Copies of this chain bind each other. A is one copy, B any other.
Amino acid sequence: MASKNGRMSHTEVLPLLEPQAAVPCCPPLNERPMSAGEAEIAAKMFKALGDPVRLRLFSAVASHEGGEACVCDISDVGVSQPTVSHHLKKLKDAGLLSSERRGTWVYYRVEPAVLAAMGALLAGTEKAT
């Protein structure tokens, strides 16, 4: 392995280009090859959305009015209720959702910062055309 090329560096990863704060995680995918550590972090977020059921649950929460929804409102995704809970937990562990109990119901809401970070990861890639 490793052969036939011989340049790199440039785009030194300036610490602050835009005012995008909040979970910066990593530079755009096409900025420079991702390090192992960065990839580990970013892959967690992508993996969380890499399941159809989780994606539907996430979309259901994100599209719900107020940006939040209780479990009872979004558990019509074709799997058992424990499975729904399991997936919500995964989304929460990945940092994509946060939960809060209010009386009988538990409400989930999207974590906007992480979403922005993922968007930024992909957004930069458009220049690579």
Point out residues on A near B: beta carbons under 8 Å.
1-5, 7, 29-36, 39-40, 42-44, 46-56, 58-60, 62-63, 65, 67, 70, 72-78, 81, 105, 110, 112, 115-116, 118-119, 122-123, 125-126, 128-129
Of the residues B4, B39, B44, B67, contact of A73 by C-beta under 8 Å: B4
Cα distance A58–B1 in the bound complex, in angstroms: 17
User: How many copies of this protein are present in the complex?
Assistant: 2
A118 and B110 within 8 A (CB): no
Closest 3 CB pairs of A and B: A47-B50, A30-B62, A34-B59
Q: Given A33-B60, A56-B33, answer yes or no on A46-B50 (Cβ-Cβ < 8 Å).
A: yes
Known: A4-B70, A110-B125; 19 extra A-B contacts, CB below 8 A, are A1-B72, A2-B75, A3-B73, A4-B105, A30-B62, A30-B63, A32-B59, A33-B60, A33-B63, A34-B55, A34-B60, A36-B56, A39-B59, A40-B52, A46-B47, A48-B50, A62-B125, A115-B125, A118-B122
